[in-house]
Each structure stands twice: as structure tokens, then as C-alpha cells.
Amino acid sequence: MVDDVNGAVPIAPKRLVVGISGASGVIYGVRMLEALRDLGVESHLVVTRAALLTLSQETDLSADDLTGRADVVHKLADVGASIASGSFRTLGMVVAPCSVRTMSEIATGVTSTLLTRAADVTLKERRPLVLMVRETPLHLGHLRTMTALAEMGAVIAPPLPAFYARPETIEAMVDQSVGRALDLFGLDWAATRRWSGLSKAGPA
């Protein structure tokens, strides 16, 4: 798309779609929303029912606590929402965490909710789609689905701990994974620890 006035390609608005599905690790989605607020990026949230169950099991947050961290909240069944159309311009979409069911539905293109429809739109518009898949161990079907998604343009980014950052808390490990996911959208979050080369101090 080219701007008629000066011939330049317009810059996408600073907004990101955040999907939270029912895999363990709902804290990744929570921190993603908080990070986007820190960065001044407009967040568009869509949450599955299973994710709300996980929220109640893994945190002390309520559904209102979660949605209150987003700038715009879309209902899961609202397939007519803005994020269901490619004409609604965004930086892309992250699913944090991404369950195997959600991943598989995105891979088939047979979408039944706004979350998976928005992910499908992100792929067809050639925007970054980052899937923070939370499952282990992985069987061959999972791996083949991930391969198919990678071939379609998605980035498979399981939230794995970065021990080189010397995390001292679970929160630090979560923030590092969130920060590295944000890197994929060109967003630099201050909580992200950067590699600066090997330490000069050798083994004792």
C-alpha cells in the first residue's frame, strides 16, 4: 500500500493484537499487556474461556483485572470485530500463551473464534504472528503442525528461560520471554536483558 501524497509506504499504527489461550502460562499474556502499556502500544485483547479458567488457577487476578490491562477488549465470539479484518492495520499479533488446540486451529485455517480468525488474518496480511506455544513434551503431530505454521510465516516462540540473563525470580524469567517476543515486532522493552558477550571471568 502506497501513500498517494508522497509515495511512501505508511507506517503501521502502534497497536498489537494479543491473544491469550488456555495453555498454562497465562502470566505471559498478563505481562505482555503490561509491557505494551509501558511502551505506549495500543493493545487489542481477545481471551478464550479456557484462558480465564487458567487465570483463576495460576494467579490471584480476576477476569476484570486481566481485561483492565488492555486498551481494547474484544469478545471471543465477535467475528465482526475490527481485528477480524485485514484492513484494520496492526503491527501483528502474539498469542501468549498459545495452546496446542489454538495452534492447530490456526494451522488449518478453519477458525471458530475471533482469536484464531485474527491470527489467520495476521498470516494472510503477511504481518508477524508470534505463537508462544506452551506444551511439553511434543509429539510428532505437534512438531508437524509447528513446521506447517513456520512455512506459512508464523514464528514459533516457546517461552523458554534464558539462563544467560541470570534470572533470580520467576518474574524475571517471564519478563525475558515476553521481551524477546516483543523484539520480533521491533519493540524494545526495558525489562529485556541483552547479551553483551561472554564474561571475562573464567571458571574457578
| 41 known ligand binder | no
| 194 known ligand binder | no
| 24 known ligand binder | yes
Q: How far apart are the first and last CA of the chain?
A: 58
| 177 known ligand binder | no
Burial of 144 (0-12, 13-18, 19+ CB in 10 A): exposed
User: Distances from the Cα of 162 to the Cαs of 50, 62, 127, 135, 201, in angstroms?
Assistant: 28, 29, 26, 18, 19
| 22 known ligand binder | yes
In this structure, is the dihedral angle defined by the CA atoms of residues 194, 197, 203 and 204, taken in order, positive or negative? negative
| 48 known ligand binder | yes
| 166 known ligand binder | no
- Binding-site residues for FMN, in ranges, read 22-24, 48, 99-102, 134
Binding site residue list: 22-24, 48, 99-102, 134, 164, 180
- Binding site listing for dimethylallyl phosphate: 164, 180
